[in-house]
Amino acid sequence: MKRTINIKEKKLDVSSPIVMGIINVTPDSFSDGGKYVFADDAVRRAVQMFREGARIIDIGGYSSRPGAKDVSEQEEMDRVIPIIERITQEMDIPISVDTFRSHVADESIKFGASIVNDISAGSDDVNMIPTVAKHNVPFIAMHKQGQPSNMHINPQYSNVLEEVYSYLKQVIYKCKSAGIEDVIVDPGFGFGKTTTHNFKLLNHLNEFKSLNVPLLIGVSRKSMIYKTLGITVQDALNGTTFLHAFSLNKGANILRVHDVKEAVECLRLFDQIKKY
């Protein structure tokens, strides 16, 4: 597996797992919606995540929760770009822009973003992969089935593990052929998948290591946790931490999380176990 990611002529080491902190600057994201719509609050949270040990900050201005409302490209840019610009002025940390729109990615990179995180892996915008290649930034390619407005309605697979793996393998080839040097894959927990699909993917996570690229896991506070346990999203931190530990043991390289402090503690304990 490639052990470093090139970010603005620097190397980010992922041979030991790292944490990506999530900041959704939206009013309706499933966990933190409405908390960081004001720039000062978002920047303050980014500083806190940095101090707690996040190695990447992921900024999203378009809610992709099941049934989420569509927003215009301009509104998405109005949400994310001022915050990306502010964070780059405050601290030296890679910023990932969470978008499936090439123009949003293009503008965000101009204002300081150094990674593109696309829930559609370039399939929703034919210009996304060429845009990422042009800027020579890392690309996080996620698998999803359907669109945020309908992906929760009866998703079907013949074999979810084989289909997600095959899709990501094809995306890696497409990205590499376009000139993208650093590709990171995300199986897309909750994106057009039932709870059963999610747990099957999680249990066989180690099989994705043969793709030979870094593996990002996004299970933080998701419905696979709180629906299984019969709790609320607000009470899903303990379950999240367990799945993070399980994911690390199965080969995860990047944990995309809402709760940085707890995830970093999980990493530290995992690293300690590996010494013995």
Domain ranges in the chain are 13-274
Q: Which of 101, 193, 221, 222 is catalytic?
A: 222
Task: Quote the percentage of the chain above a pLDDT of 70.
Answer: 95
Task: Report whether pLDDT(33) > 70.
Answer: no
The span from the CA of 160 to the CA of 84, in Å, is 35
Task: Return the SS3 of 29.
Answer: coil
Task: Report whether pLDDT(155) > 60.
Answer: yes
Task: Report whether pLDDT(269) > 70.
Answer: yes
Task: Return the SS3 of 194.
Answer: coil
Average pLDDT over residues 118-142: 97
Alpha helix (H) residue ranges in 179-236: 195-203, 223-229
Pairing relation of β-strands 139-142 and 183-186? parallel
Of 157 and 33, the structure prediction assigns the larger pLDDT to: 157
Burial code (b: 16+ CB inside 10 Å, e: under 16) for 142-170 equals bbbbebbeebbeebebeebbeebbebbee
Average pLDDT over residues 80-104: 95
Contacts of 262 (CB under 8 A, 6+ apart): 237, 240, 241
Task: Report whether pLDDT(31) > 90.
Answer: no
Does the domain at 13-274 match CATH 3.20.20.20? Answer given as: yes
Q: Which of 55, 101, 144, 256 is catalytic?
A: 256
Of 36 and 226, the structure prediction assigns the larger pLDDT to: 226
Task: Give pLDDT, residue 117.
Answer: 98
222 a catalytic residue: yes
Average pLDDT over residues 134-148: 93
Task: Give pLDDT, residue 108.
Answer: 98
174 a catalytic residue: no
